[in-house]
Amino acid sequence: MNRFAELLDRLVLTPSRNGKLTLLVDYFRSVEDPDRGLALAAITGDLNIAAVKPAMLRTLVTERMDPVLFGYSYDYVGDLAETVSLVWPQTPGHIPNREPTLSDVVAKLQAASRSDGPKVLAGLLDSAGISARFAIIKLVTGGLRIGVSARLAKQALADFGKVDVAEIEELWHGLTPPYISLFAWLEGKAEKPQRTALALFSPVMLSNPVGDGDLEKLDPADYAAEWKWDGIRVQAVCEGGVRRLYSRTGDDVSGAFPDLAEAMNFSAALDGELLVGEPAATGTFSDLQQRLNRKSVTPKIQQRYPAFMRCYDVLQIDGEDLRALPFRERRVHLEAFIKTLDPSRFDLSPLVDFTDWQALEEMRRAPPHPIIEGVMLKRWDSPYLAGRPKGPWFKWKRDPHTVDAVLMYAQRGHGKRSSFYSDYTFGVWSGPEGAEELVPVGKAYFGFTDEELKQIDKFVRDNTVERFGPVRSVRADRKQGLVLEVAFEGLNRSTRHKSGVAMRFPRISRLRWDKPTAEADRIETLQALLD
């Protein structure tokens, strides 16, 4: 249990992706089965343990110590799991023969009935040290919150076994904790596990952005063009009565879109974009947001923002793998197949006719719907390949929006950037003339060069007004301050931000040392971009 606890402690404080991967790979290498597989399941959210409510945890601890002292402690720490792990009284003189392993803990928790759950938990806490107690409490209260996605965990497995992450994604849904066969294969001790489960995920094909001069080298006749829909990439797979809707990284998202899942009554694997509204009246990105990041969806939300899938590829029909066929032939299969499906839930991503790049460029600049974010180019003769091969698929995005904003707060970065103020909160003007105020509209931490970072860092240090821990507020008024040109992909309404808007994918595109702060943009400029 201590090794797992230590892993959690390190992961939560390690900001860099590479650092997290190193920690995970080392863990998989040094810990044996079944503990490492159970840790993996805990991280990916695939471990099934009956939850213990926070109130129960509180009761357990205050039965064992003075409630006033517990109160002081909890007030100070602020986190219940952490407080309980620290103050849990150790039986004097009682040194457990051996601390429980992760598999001991999981076995006991899974075997516990609802009524003896608290007693089992208390017994485990008695037998563990501080770090292990924290990890146990995290397991039973649900949600590790360590900043590691299932995707990152799969990448760590791939690094560990020196295989492509696509191979892991493809297998993932056929495997169950503690993943003994997976680890055996990754360590070279066994054959690759067979894909025996139904409706598995196929790693998706991704595109490269069109770079400077790319198009000049390409013949327009070799490529098909489609609109690039700004929804969620999904893969709908039905096989032998099993239906699964996967995200682009192979996570099963069927639960969030029961309306769409219900309409999946075919035998095929389709690739496309999940959107809301109806095919004839596609909703905007703001509408789509109503369906994102929800644990459960009410019938009302489903009715108001119905989900549908705009299909652009087909990987399999009736068990026949079509991925090796050229795009042109897959498209023919797709067009015929879509006709057999519920038209309110599935439609076809239309091809965009064009003769030369100039004509396509004009269409890209003036798309017919706000949820289109550019065009896709697909080579007619390309097979469906996992990953991001260079050449067959391109995305040619709409140019980003830009706004001139004023730097308001700067926060120190992490790792390589820990001595630099590298995360910037910026604002635009609002309020009546003569009484303008800056309202924060976003935060960005990239887009600038190392040289520019040094310059901004110096500006921040020389113009600090106040400090709050790692954050500094800088001089920013009508006369003084630093104007940043910020590029972003789109704007959503937000009730969480004072400004009422939230930027998508903001980054610093230019430093405007030359521009007086009073000439930075106003909030109305942004509001005009909404919807």
Find the part of the chain contacting another protein (CB under 8 A) among 68-76, 179-187, 337-345, 402-410. 68-76
User: What span, in angstroms and rounded, lies between the C-alpha atoms of 472 and 454?
Assistant: 16
Angle at 390 between CA 389 and CA 391, to 5 degrees: 115
Q: Rounded distance, CA 152 to CA 158, Å?
A: 10
21-60: which residues touch another protein (CB under 8 A)?
22-23, 26
Looking at 10-18, 52-60, 150-158, 435-443, which segment touches another protein (CB under 8 A)? 10-18
Binding to another protein by CB under 8 A, coded x per residue (else -) over 106-145, reads: ------------------------x---------------
For residue 188, state whether it binds another protein (rule: CB under 8 A): no
- In the complex with another protein, the residue whose CB is nearer, 134 or 308, is 134
Rounded to a whole number of angstroms, the CA Rg of the chain reads 27
Distance CA 252, CA 244 (A): 7
Interaction between residue 184 and another protein (CB under 8 A)? no
Query: Which class for 282: exposed (0-12), middle (13-18), buried (19 or more C-beta within 10 A)?
Result: buried
Please pick, from the candidates 50, 51, 86, 530, the single residue that binds another protein as defined by CB under 8 A: 86
Report how far apart, in Å, the C-alpha atoms of 146 and of each of 39, 134, 178, 463 are: 13, 13, 20, 35
301 contact partners, CB below 8 Å, separation of at least 6: 290, 291, 294
Work out which of 76, 216, 217, 219 binds another protein, going by CB under 8 A.
76
Nearer to another protein, 74 or 229 (CB): 74
CB of 392 to another protein, least distance (A): 36
Of the candidate residues 5, 38, 87, 135, the single one contacting another protein (CB under 8 A): 87
Q: Does 292 bind another protein (CB under 8 A)?
A: no
State which of residues 62, 73, 286, 492 lies at the interface with another protein (CB under 8 A). 73
Part of the chain binding another protein (CB under 8 A), chosen from 12-20, 233-241, 271-279, 486-494 = 12-20
For position 64 contacting another protein by CB under 8 A, the verdict is no
Q: Is 66 in the site for another protein (CB under 8 A)?
A: yes
Q: Smallest distance, Å, CB 78 to another protein?
A: 6
Burial class (CB in 10 A: 0-12, 13-18, 19+), 506: buried
Helix (H) or strand (E) holding 239: strand 232-239
Return the number of the residue (167 or 423) whose C-beta is nearest another protein: 423
Q: Residue 470 and residue 420: Cα distance in Å, rounded?
A: 10
Distance CA(12)–CA(15), nearest Å, equals 8
Candidates 72-80, 206-214, 252-260, 504-512; binding stretch for another protein (CB under 8 A): 72-80
DSSP assignment of 362-417 equals HHHHS-SSTTEEEEEEEETT----SB--TTTEEEEEPPPEEEEEEEEEEEE-SGGG
78 is a contact residue toward another protein (CB under 8 A): yes
Element (H, E) at 523: helix 523-527
Report the residue number, 323 or 417, with the smaller CB distance to another protein. 417
Q: Which of 20, 138, 154, 228 is catalytic?
A: 228
381-420 mask for another protein (x: CB under 8 A)? -------------------------------x-xxx-xxx
228 is catalytic: yes
The size of the interface with another protein (CB under 8 A), counted in residues, is: 36
The burial class, CB within 10 Å (0-12 / 13-18 / 19+), for 478 is middle
Instruction: Check if the beta carbon of residue 177 is closer than 8 Å to that of residue 47.
Output: yes
Instruction: Kindly tell me the burial class for residue 331, based on how many C-beta atoms sit within 10 Å of its own C-beta (0-12, 13-18, 19 or more).
Output: buried
Q: Does 446 bind another protein (CB under 8 A)?
A: no
- Interacting residues with another protein (CB under 8 A): 6, 9-10, 12-15, 19, 22-23, 26, 65-66, 68-70, 72-73, 76-79, 82-83, 86-87, 130, 412, 414-416, 418-420, 469-470
Give catalytic residue positions: 228
